[in-house]
Structure 1
Amino acid sequence: MKQTVYVISGPAGAGKSTLSKALVHMLPRSARIEGDIVNHMVAGGYKPPWKSECLLELTWKNIADLSHNFVQAGMDVVIDYVAFPHEVSHLKQKLKEETGCTIKYIVLQVEDQELVRRDRLRPASQQMGPRSIELARQFRESGVNETFILDTTAVHDDHLDKVCQEIRTNDRYVL
């Protein structure tokens, strides 16, 4: 069976981590890649991804290499990271050429006031503040095809299984 790489994206507070954790547990052989962890592997000279194109490119290269390794081992992969269309395009090119896997791109969208509410529920050290709204704006302006957008404003934990099943079975998310 052909493996699938799921790229769960969207602004901070949209539900990427919650959804990706639920999805990875539904998949029989799977791995979850947290882009923030890969990004924070850089210790000396670290800069946030929006302030260093070089480090952002390195993060995506590492995510692609990890994804490739997991797919080659017969696993589906769930990537939890802020991923704009051009970044996913590069990931798709590398993985499709080397592995032939299916790639699904899901951009979580949330109303701004809900993003702010969710951000305030996070521990202080993890709050993004105005950056969440800025990312939401960037996604709206990035030209993301509406096919890939999933509104999670009203999604609560008791609906996660249904949303995960939708992502797994609906081909609208295939790149």
Structure 2
Amino acid sequence: MRRIYIITGPAGVGKSTISKRLVEQFTQSAYIEGDLINHMIVGGYLPPWESEELLTLTWENIASLATNFLRANKDVVIDYIAYPEDVEKVIQKVRSERCQAKIFYVVLWVDHDELLRRDQLRDKQYQMGQRCLDLVKEFKSKQISERYYYHTNDVTATEVVEKIRKSGEFIVNEKIER
């Protein structure tokens, strides 16, 4: 059975690093970078946190791409800010397209100081500053089950990828547990 991995967390936790390393572990795989999908909108673009309409469109496109890749016999890694309601949209799309896949939801997490340190390591144009902290608050407000969180302060990227690949604890069944 094919797999969809939804790798998420606040800006600066390592979503892209982990997602890119994870997708390389599979012989048949596809990488969906949510920011690229979101930035396909040119005229009328607004950041996703400012436009529910554009965010919904982004998730519809991500879910459609994921099911297209599943039908092409690819494992899929999605790298984007994803809350339980977004994961449920992907589940519904997979179900409606009659695709078979195990869906994994992983919320990468680091402590406050580490998050800010990592953000400062980014090129100036990609630093998120206060937005990192705003996303921490947003994730906490969603009351996501602790079982989906993976605290990465003291582990290497290789260890994170191995844990995600070999652990069943991040599998989502019918709905996200809260």
Q: Which residue of 2 aligns with 1:151?
A: 151
Structure 1 Cα separation of the partners of residues 127 and 58 of structure 2: 21
Cross-structure match for 2:46: 47
State the partner residue of 1:81: 80
CA shift for structure 1 position 163: 1.8
Report the residue type matching 1:51 in the other structure.
Answer: E
1:20, distance to aligned residue in structure 2 (A):
0.4
Q: How many residues align?
A: 171
Secondary structure of 2:42's counterpart equals coil
Instruction: Look up the match of 2:28.
Output: 29
- Of the structure 1 ranges 161-170 and 118-127, higher mean CA displacement relative to structure 2 is found in 161-170
Q: Which structure 2 residues correspond to residues 100-115 of structure 1 after superposition, within 5 A?
A: 100-115=100-115
- 1:160 corresponds in structure 2 to 157
Q: Which runs of 5+ in 2 are unaligned?
A: 173-178
> SS in structure 2 opposite 1:7?
strand
Which deviations, in whole Å up to 9, do the C-alpha atoms of 1:19-53 show, x marking residues without a partner?
00110111111111000000000001000000000
Bigger mean CA deviation after superposition, 119-128 or 55-64: 119-128
2:92 alignment partner in structure 1: 93
**Post-superposition offset of 1:141:** 1.6
CA distance, structure 2, for counterparts of residue 148 and residue 41 of structure 1: 29
- The CA distance in 1 between the partners of 2:108 and 2:49, in whole Å, is 19
Task: Tell me the amino acid that sits aligned with residue 130 of structure 2.
Answer: P
Does the 8 Å contact 2:7/2:77 carry over to 1? yes
Q: Deviation string for 1:124-160 (max 9, x for gaps)?
A: 11111100011011111211111100011223xxx32
Q: Which residue of 2 aligns with 1:142?
A: 142
Offset at 1:84?
0.6
Normalized against structure 1, the TM-score is what?
Answer: 0.95
Deviations along 1:5-25, one digit per CA (max 9) or x if unpaired, are 000000000110010011011
Q: Which moved more, 1:48-57 or 1:93-102?
A: 93-102
C-alpha spacing 1:166/1:75, structure 2 compared with 1 (3 Å): same
Contact 2:31–2:76 (Cα < 8 Å) also in 1: yes
Partner residue, 1:130: 130
Tell me what 2:55 maps to.
56
In structure 2, the residue matched to 1:70 is 69
Q: Quick check: 1:173 aligned with 2:158?
A: no
Q: Secondary structure at the match of 1:50?
A: helix
**Runs ≥4 residues deviating over 3 A:** none
